[in-house]
Amino acid sequence: MDRLFRAAGRCALAFLLVLGVVALLPRALREAVPDAVIGAAVPVLVWALGARRTAGGSR
């Protein structure tokens, strides 16, 4: 159950990070970026957050 909460937390964090970055973009650039690119950024960030966590090894 703990792993499920951690995975959900990583997904939520990635989603909020992408939303924040998109909100900071100028309007012209925001409209030029396809929705698929923004949508693909979330799984990539989730993967990166998970890879960063597992790269540390066991303690």
pLDDT tens-digit map of 9-58:
888 888 888 888 888 989 998 889 888 888 888 888 888 877 766 655 55
Q: Give how far Cα 6 sits from Cα of 13, 29, 58, Å.
A: 10, 33, 17
What was the pLDDT predicted at 25? 86
Output the pTM of the full model. 0.62
The number of distinct structural domains making up the chain is 1
Q: Is the pLDDT of residue 59 over 80?
A: no
Please say if the pLDDT value at position 1 is more than 60: yes
Domain around 42: 1-56
Distance (Å, whole) CA 54 – CA 16: 22
* Range list of H helices, 1-59: 2-24, 27-32, 35-55
Q: What is the pLDDT of residue 49?
A: 75
Report the C-alpha gap between 10 and 24 in whole angstroms.
21
